[in-house]
Structure 1
């Protein structure tokens, strides 16, 4: 188990940006499927989702969030020493989206910029990666941009978002504690099989296919093994959270909020109940924003806690889990951080 602690890293702020386009899961289906969709919505807890405009990328949203955060922090672009982008929705297969954003944001050429290919578990991993660079002393200020754009717009689960998190070197900062894990034996539970070197695109993938309801599908779409994901999430996440609390010597009562990846209502409620957490300590954005992949932790913090957190010192436990399979948790002190309100673009 990958338990670790980072010192001298301050959580400086967070901003989130979502598309203006709102899609209703109850209305975005034929009338003949309405009763079936209503049952699905009750189970997954997602009523509306946010979807990018046709030519809008995740990076466009993340850029807006980052620029708002830098303005609120009054950081100069020349101060940024690292830019890490965590996404499965890059602008291009290559080069890395972080390299493109480095230029679009006007960051110095001395800034380290690279992508990380992770989805729903990505936030704790990205936080640890950027935090480690800052703790080592080479980077004084850095940005972590996380988000995704939905590939299959008719999927009732997923939404689009772009987020920015700012970390800086500070010898007086409270320690950050992490527990990060991976299990590649379950890689097929969440997978898009076509498009890589293992199975390149071919002419057969261009032939449209439709299910019994007339919805498009195919091997180049995301394939999700629901029962496997449910089992993984509810069996791995609760003990990992307990392990991190024990390692950090922090009680559940000392944690102000537990923020979990917004997978679906069934998974999240099972995790909450297994950990015996009160609902008021577990904010949710599933109903309004859906599953925003790796961005779901910052989206939930921004949507539900941006007015509460600046008022005093708060300690949060953040847990992301999903594709890989991978899962990670972090205990972070949010004292004095900036949290702009949700941005729509």
Structure 2
């Protein structure tokens, strides 16, 4: 059972970078004759998104990292680990974490790795970094998470936005730390999938042929989603995961100050909220302004919607990421005296 905790680690700061370019979903956000903008916004809650034709995930993470490191007044030579979580890496190889280590000017003795996960990725990446820090061998580390420029362009999808985030963590003797629950259902691997481009289905001329899939015209480098399967998964798994975590570690999840869920879509997330019987003001949303930003969605929501509201007091968070894989991860933690940088908007 993937339930575990790490102590003696705290979040020192959080930042987020997004493209300055705003796309409104009441424009021609998707090239489809049957696209109903009003109905789409009502169902998903996504009014607008940040998108860029040129910025990669690493560009957005880099901008956010430089801002956060400066705000924290950290010495870059003391940052000993960097974990990059994304499904839109710069290259097939090398790992983007290696590129970011050099670009940020970190020590050549810095631990650096990529994690290929989407919607649950921030929670998974957080557990990786926290485990490195918990023994005190590593003192300061960065978790970079997000998704941006896709592998190949196609018709616009009005649900997804681009963002890169940075979570700075440090060893702190006596800190309460983090409690995690994880799960995976690989039988649903094809519920959210890009069919071509990997080793199993390599690139061919047919990969670029436009086909109709569930009423949308798309090629095989675009993300395909079985909406009904994903919806059923999304409304059932997070409530169970949160309850399991609270039972294991004997706390009342209702005592949390804020719940931040992966920003999937408003209808799905509101189902989760009502199943858990949570007060509306405890569940924070950024999707109306930024859309579904994959592994960036949880920290982006904290930066965009909570900055100035919690930094200098003790606050309890419960966060849950869920989706592609199918995979999920829930984490409970506290913050106090945390730095939240201004949102970095990049051209």
Task: Give the corresponding residue for 1:155.
Answer: 157
Residue 9 of structure 2 corresponds to 9
CA distance in 2 between partners of 1:27 and 1:19 (Å):
18
1:119-198 correspondence runs (5 A): 119-151=118-150, 152=154, 154-198=156-200
Q: Secondary structure at the match of 1:137?
A: coil
In structure 1, the residue matched to 2:24 is 24
* Cα 1:261–1:177 shift into 2, 3 Å: same
What is the SS of the residue equivalent to 1:66?
helix
Answer yes or no: is the 8 Å Cα contact 2:193–2:224 preserved in 1: yes
Aligned residue runs from structure 1 range 65-80, under 5 A: 65-80=64-79
Q: Cα offset for 1:55?
A: 2.3
Q: Determine if contact 1:63/1:101 at 8 Å carries over to the other structure.
A: yes
Aligned twin of 1:42? 42
* Matches for 1:83-98 after TM superposition, within 5 Å: 83-98=82-97
Matched-pair contact (CA < 8 Å) for 1:26–1:34: no
Q: What is the deviation of 1:28?
A: 2.1
Q: Structure 2 CA distance, aligned partners of 1:212 and 1:137? A: 51
Aligned position for 2:102: 103
Give the whole-Å Cα distance in 1 for the aligned partners of 2:265 and 2:309.
25
Is the aligned partner of 1:201 residue 2:203? yes
Q: Count the aligned residue pairs.
A: 343
Matching residue of 2:290: 289
Post-superposition Cα deviations, 1:49-108, rounded to whole Å, max 9, x if no partner, equal 1102x2211111100111111111111111011000000000111100000000000000
Q: CA RMSD in A?
A: 1.8
**Distance change (3 Å), C-alpha of 1:198 and 1:212:** closer
1:339 to 2:332 alignment: no
Pairwise CA distance, 1:344: 0.8
Matched, 1:56 2:55: yes
- Consecutive unaligned residues of structure 2, counting only runs of 5 or more, are none
1:272 alignment partner in structure 2: 273
Are 1:150 and 1:158, in contact at CA under 8 Å, matched by a contact in 2? Answer: no
Compute the displacement of 1:209 (Å): 4.7
Residue correspondence of structure 1 range 187-336 to structure 2 within 5 A? 187-209=189-211, 216-336=217-337
Tell me the TM-score normalized by structure 2.
Answer: 0.95
Matched-pair contact (CA < 8 Å) for 1:283–1:300: yes
- Give the distance between the partners of 2:206 and 2:30, measured in 1 at CA: 29
Deviates more, 1:257-266 or 1:216-225: 216-225
SS at the partner of 1:310?
A: coil
Aligned counterparts of 2:257 and 2:251: Cα–Cα separation in 1:
11
CA deviations on 1:303-337 (whole Å, 9 max, x unpaired) are 11111121311010010001111000101111111
